[in-house]
Amino acid sequence: MCACAVILALVAAPAALGACTTRLHVVATPHPAGLDGLLTDVAAVPGSREAWAVGTENRNNLSLPFADRFLNGRWRVVPVPHSDASQRLFGVDAISVADAWAVGDDLSTNGPIAQHWDGSAWHLVPMPSHLGSLTAVEMLSGTDVWAVGEDFTTGGPLFEHWNGSAWSVFPVPNPFPAVEAPVADVEHVAGTGRLWAVGEGVAFQFAHGTWTFSQMPGFAAVDSLAIPAQRDVWAVGSSAGGGITEHFDGTRWTKFFTRGLYLGVVGSVSPGDIWATATDARFSGPLRLAHLNAARTAWVRVGPGHAGIADVGAIALRPDGTGWLAGDSDGTPGAQPRLAALCGL
């Protein structure tokens, strides 16, 4: 999810820092110049060099969903079915080249939508009739998929589950009925059936068939989640003055604040190698990378800021330190979709 000098392919790079000439490259997107839109999520496909990115185009007062596929060294647009009404895609995940899900909402019905990739095409899949929007999706298997977002009826969290044949709304407690508290991101703990989801000052954990919640210190709003190990969960966001980092060590959540560095999304290569996107000014300024220090108590700016990419909504990192960022060109109305390749983190 990033933008710099145009390149056409992501090269499999050594994992060591400094092995690439630059860590972040803006890449060519398959969209025509001048297209008004935003990429909101990106997912690397396990066991391959492929990747998916999804977003929304604004055209003729409509919102139209789109999906981009990285295949054979370049990005290309893959047709996404949609109605004549406005629809948006916010989240995507894949477990193989023939099995991926994307989620979002339909602005004409104020209900969630889901699309499935079967290896040949994307298909709209019926969802339960419900007022809400889905912002993120996580696949544990082809028959165990979770999507999260906001329930418009209550203003609280919305959790939906795919069991291999149908989607259903999964009941979860609403931790703060008096305030709007949507869920922004969901990730699974590798090698287990456990998941975490985070949002407005709250974290949800799934274990033994049940979602439970815990309040984060300071009721901090976080938007992005990374889980390098079972007892090592990280979430980031920003508020007035700087970036918020929340960490769960297996027992409790703790928080630290980074003044003057506004955090966007977080991802991990390994437990000792955690990265985030950031800017030096809230909602503006060149995008930069930040690395968690060895003591895991502060973020360290890495390299220069990068103009040409903004509003980064997602990061996808591979174990070799390569990956992708997704966002737009400058964070203003009329901005264009942007992707960036990460190399040698």
Q: Which domains does the chain have, with CATH numbers?
A: 24-342 (2.130.10.10)
Digit-by-digit pLDDT tens for the chain (345 residues) are 332 222 222 223 323 223 345 688 888 899 998 899 999 999 999 999 999 999 999 988 899 999 999 999 999 999 999 888 899 999 999 999 999 999 999 999 999 999 999 999 999 999 999 999 999 999 999 999 999 999 999 889 999 999 999 999 999 988 877 677 899 999 999 999 999 999 988 999 999 999 999 889 887 889 999 999 999 999 999 998 999 999 999 999 999 999 999 999 999 999 999 999 999 887 777 899 999 999 999 999 998 888 888 889 999 999 888 999 999 998 788 889 999 999 876
**What span, in angstroms and rounded, lies between the C-alpha atoms of 89 and 134?**
8
**What span, in angstroms and rounded, lies between the C-alpha atoms of 208 and 140?**
15
Rounded-to-5 percentages of helix, strand, coil across the chain:
0, 55, 40
Torsion of CA 31, 35, 41, 47, to 10 degrees: 0
